[in-house]
């Protein structure tokens, strides 16, 4: 699994996940939409931790600054 996420991409995903979690636990978003957004926030955090986004791979998108040999 090759890293395909840059640091800016990772930071943005973590910030979005934190905002969604805050909104969910304060009751601003709730119900089915809240649960779906909370799961999506978890996916954002997971992909940020492992530096790999499975949706980037089929399209050949790489936001990391790692040079290919």
Q: pLDDT in tens for each of the 69 residues of the chain? A: 788 899 999 999 999 999 999 999 999 999 999 999 999 999 999 999 999 999 998 898 888 886 655
Instruction: Delimit the domains of the chain by residue range.
Output: 1-29
Rg (CA), the chain: 14
Lookup result for tokens 């040079």 = 67
Indicate the pTM of the whole model: 0.85
Q: Quick one: which of 8, 12, 4 has its CA closest to 55?
A: 4
Amino acid 66: pLDDT: 66
């Amino acid at each position: 699994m090759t890293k395909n996420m840059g640091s800016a991409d990772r930071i943005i995903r973590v910030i979005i996940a934190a905002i969604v979690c805050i909104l969910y636990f304060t009751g601003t978003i709730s119900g089915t939409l809240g649960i779906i957004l909370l799961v999506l926030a978890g996916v954002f955090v997971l992909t940020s931790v492992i530096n790999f986004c499975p949706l980037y791979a089929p399209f050949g998108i790489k936001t990391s600054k790692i040079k290919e040999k």
